[in-house]
Amino acid sequence: MKSVSRILGVAGLALFGWATAAQAAPVAIDFTGNGGDLGPGLFFDLGGGAELEVIASQYPGGSVGDDAPFGSGEKVSLYQNIEGLGVFVSPGDSVQLDGQGALEAMDFFFNQTVTVLSVTLEDGSVLDNFDMSMDDVDLDIVGLLGSDALLDLPEAAYGDDSRLADFEGDGLTGTVFTIYAADANDNFRVRELLVEVTDGGDTGDDVPAPSAMLLLGMGLAGLGLARRRRD
């Protein structure tokens, strides 16, 4: 029986180690760079089969208050600089994501379910310059995060005017996230998303580890044989 217990113990340790390794680590998606006018779409390979497509759109009518810009929008260009991603509509535009004139928005399409842990913005100065939806459901940022929803970040690490919206623990899990300006005075860039891939997709995360399962099977078989001999 001691040998059977030893086998089961080794199998359990192997399964524990495999499960721990299979847990998805958070992925920081950095949108800074010098790409300039990128057109309407931008793709990111997050590893393990997870992918992200970012689309820029504008919606007529200017400010829409707290109503997310769902429905039909016109695709416009993303604009990338060292502070992150903005939206470029026409010459003279601020190349930030703003609500002046037509309302601007960015859609983040993930091919797997993810949990958004945080959003880092650049050039935002007041709370109402940031709004967001998840899978066509408008989010109450202040309700989720409190009145101090945007936390100032150290300039040395992130730039002159970066702010963090920390959603960890708030369950923002989905596949489509929209970040938009809800007021004519809003203007900012999206600098970084921190996400955690929460489904296995085609990464094989939900496939049992062969070696661990083999050890477990051997242990169970040995346990059955030992019981038969004892009986």
The pLDDT of residue 93:
78
CATH number of 25-197: 2.60.120
What band does 106 get if pLDDT is binned at 50, 70 and 90? very high
Distance CA 123, CA 191 (A): 10
Mean pLDDT value across the chain: 74
Type and span of the H or E element at 20: helix 2-22
Max mean pLDDT among 61-70, 96-105, 130-139 falls in 130-139
In this prediction, residues 102-131 reach a mean pLDDT of 83
Domain with CATH 2.60.120 in the chain: 25-197
- Among residues of the chain, what percentage have pLDDT more than 90? 31
Torsion angle, alpha carbons of 16, 20, 21, 23, to 10: 140
Contact 112, 206 (CB under 8 A): no
Residue 146: band (very low, low, confident or very high) from pLDDT cuts 50, 70, 90: confident
Of all residues in the chain, the percent with pLDDT exceeding 70 is: 62
Expressed in percent and rounded to 5, the helix, strand and coil fractions of the chain are 25, 40, 35
Average pLDDT value for residue range 162-176 = 89
The Cα–Cα gap between 200 and 184 comes to 40
Rounded distance, CA 10 to CA 96, Å?
56
- Overall average pLDDT of the 33-51 stretch: 93
**pLDDT reported for residue 21:** 41
Question: What confidence score (pLDDT) does residue 137 get?
Answer: 86
